[in-house]
Structure 1
Amino acid sequence: MSPVRKMSAVVAAIMLGAPTVANAGEGTFGWLSGDWYLTLGATGMVAPKFEGSNSLLLGATPIISLGKVGPAARFTSRNDNISLALVDDGGVRAGLTGKFLFSRSSKDELKGLDPVRWGGEVGGFFEFYPTDWLRARAELRHGIRAHDGFVADIAADAFYDVTPTVRISGGPRVSFASSGYFDSYYGVNAKEAAASGLSEYHPGGGLKSTGLGGAITWKVTEPMTASLFGEYARLMGPAADSSLVKERGQRDQFTVGVSTTYRFNFSM
């Protein structure tokens, strides 16, 4: 069975099994009934033109989170990808996650390299609170269409409420990826090397980046928030060793931006 089919089977099993985990006697519709929340938002940011680039570009990404209403979440981050919580008791939250991946063209510094198709990543997430002021979150996702590898993101954020409506937060981040991911975004085969002038490079899997991130979040109203954030990542391992980064980019990656979200509550 291919990795994509394996991942699809795992996701399907989790979703079909969720009602049993929630309440063995309820069934699918019983699990779906109740109070739910949907958080929608957007992020506008100045970020690297592509992973490993030494040029910046203005861009935007969506923020989407869906789950059953439980104890109020103590902390959320703009780094959290699209999430569907299957377990949420306030102290521990786990479920399915996904990420949309934009395409990468073969222009400018990327001329001669094969374009990367748009696609996505699907997988699972787990987060918990070691203390009242610290959240740790991990995501493991498998690529669809854009790449056929795995990506794991781990982050820890300490947070402090300066006022009842203003919060500051920040902490370390680390990412890992398999060779399937690195080959799509950092690999250079013989044909691409001849066309682009870059050195041929065939990456393996391993550590992708380490870094730090922080944010100032303002609770505008009960359902609406806005934030200012900054992120720094240092490319490591197969990413740092890529000829694309060494010859036409840089290891240091900076991102700054603003985001806003709105939470909708509904019942089923």
Structure 2
Amino acid sequence: MTLTYRLSVLALAASALPAAAQERALTFELGLGVQSGPAYEGSDEYVVGPALGASVSTFRLLGLNVDRGDGMGFGFGPSFRYLAERKASDYSRLTGIDDVDAAFELGGRVSYRWPTVEVWGAVRKGVTGHDGVVGDLGSDVIHDYGQGTEVRFGPRLSFANDEYMDTYFAVPTGAALPAYSADGGLYTAGLEFTVRHDFSEAWAVEGALGWNRLVGDAADSPVVQDRDSGSVSVKVIRTFDWRW
């Protein structure tokens, strides 16, 4: 056996060691801020609510080894969304339609990044407010301006199941609006522009502008006043790097 071959075998064996035998590490980001968007999907009124975000770049625990320390490759993390409550007493045109409590959705997000492009997908389940399931797909073209500033721009698609669509877009018989039934599927398409600046390895700020258009059964719902909507958000991001 040649020396080169021996070294190759040793390197392969080292790379195959379980994460538990290597340095354990967890690097993740948490973002918190504010956002403005429609009072409810399809509304022409706007409200302000919380903006949440999280991602994991390094995970070497429990036999898993995911390392996105350079920002490239596979990434994952939780996915959150908050939807404000919708009360018929606040919007007379919704008389006869059941109120919807403020909704918090929780799920997961996976992504893959190349130097100038990232693609991602997310799935969430309603924890409060609704029992539906929603999913998002997106991609971004990325430009790094240096000095910690990065700009992203790309399309967004959102999907929902029947339970979600029934909660937010269906109209029962006897309501002020015509009766309507909405099925699941693709329900929004849009674009998002994001700017992020990292002040240090621990702190960053991110701002985003978005446009979405309701499509399919959502767009045809009598609940909808405006198929097009805009959004703006600002978040402060904190990075945590734990190694032991």
- What's the TM-score, normalizing by structure 1? 0.72
Equivalent position of 2:63 in the other structure: none
Q: Is the 1:103–1:146 contact (alpha carbons within 8 Å) kept by the matching residues of 2? A: no
Tell me if 1:117 matches 2:93: no
Quick check: 1:34–1:68 contact (8 Å CA) kept in 2? no
CA RMSD of aligned residues (A): 2.6
1:210 lines up with 2:186 in the alignment: no
| Runs of 5+ consecutive residues of structure 1 not aligned to the other structure | 1-22, 75-89
- Contact conserved, 2:58 with 2:68, CA < 8 A, in 1? no
For 1:259 and 1:198, locate their aligned partners in 2 and report how far apart those are by CA, in whole Å: 38
Structure 1 residue aligned with 2:141: 158
Cα distance in structure 2, aligned partners of 1:73 and 1:56: 38
Using the alignment, how far apart are the partners of 1:237 and 1:206 within structure 2?
8
Can you list the C-alpha shifts for 1:70-106, whole angstroms capped at 9, x where unaligned?
A: 23263xxxxxxxxxxxxxxx41224x63425445131
- Offset at residue 117 of structure 1 (A): 3.1
Residue among 237, 240, 243 paired with 1:261: 237
* Residues 118 and 251 of structure 1, relative CA distance in 2, 3 Å threshold: same
**Based on CA coordinates, which of the two structures has the bigger radius of gyration?**
2
Q: Deviations over 1:94-143 (max 9, x none)?
A: 4x6342544513132244421223454444433113x4200000112333
2:8 aligns to what? none
| Partner Cα distance (1:34, 1:216) in 2 | 32
- The alignment status of 1:62 with 2:45, answered yes or no, reads no
Task: Determine the structure 2 residue equivalent to 1:126.
Answer: 110
1:93 is matched with 75
Q: Tell me what 1:19 maps to.
A: none
Deviations, residues 169-213 of structure 1 (Å, cap 9, x unaligned): 11000111111110011111125x1xxx11111111121111100
Whole-angstrom CA distance in 1 between matches of 2:82 and 2:34: 16
Comparing 115-124 and 162-171, the one that deviates more: 115-124
Matching residue of 2:5: none
Aligned twin of 2:42: 52
Looking at secondary structure, tell me which structure has more strand per residue. Answer: 2
Shift of the 258–142 alpha-carbon distance from structure 1 to 2, 3 Å rule, reads: closer
Q: Check the 8 A contact 1:155/1:172 in 2, yes or no.
A: yes
Identical residues among aligned pairs (%)? 26
Instruction: Tell me if the contact between 1:213 and 1:232 (Cα under 8 Å) persists in the aligned partners.
Output: yes
Q: Is this contact kept in 2: 1:203–1:238, CA < 8 A?
A: yes
Q: Within the alignment, does 1:35 sit opposite 2:47 as a pair?
A: no
Structure 2 regions of 5+ residues with no counterpart? Answer: 1-15, 60-66
CA distance in structure 1 between the aligned counterparts of 2:70 and 2:42, rounded to whole angstroms: 34
Matched residue of 2:165: which SS? Answer: helix
Match of 1:170 among 136, 139, 153: 153
Matching of residues 100-249 of structure 1 within 5 Å: 100-102=81-83, 104-106=85-87, 107-109=89-91, 110-129=94-113, 131-191=114-174, 193=175, 197-245=176-224, 249=225
Aligned-pair CA distance for 1:153: 0.4
Q: Please say if residues 98 and 120 of structure 1, whose CA atoms lie closer than 8 Å, have aligned partners that are also in contact.
A: no
- Cα gap change, 1:32 to 1:51, in 2 (>3 Å): farther
Mapped to 1, the partners of 2:234 and 2:105 lie a distance apart of 24
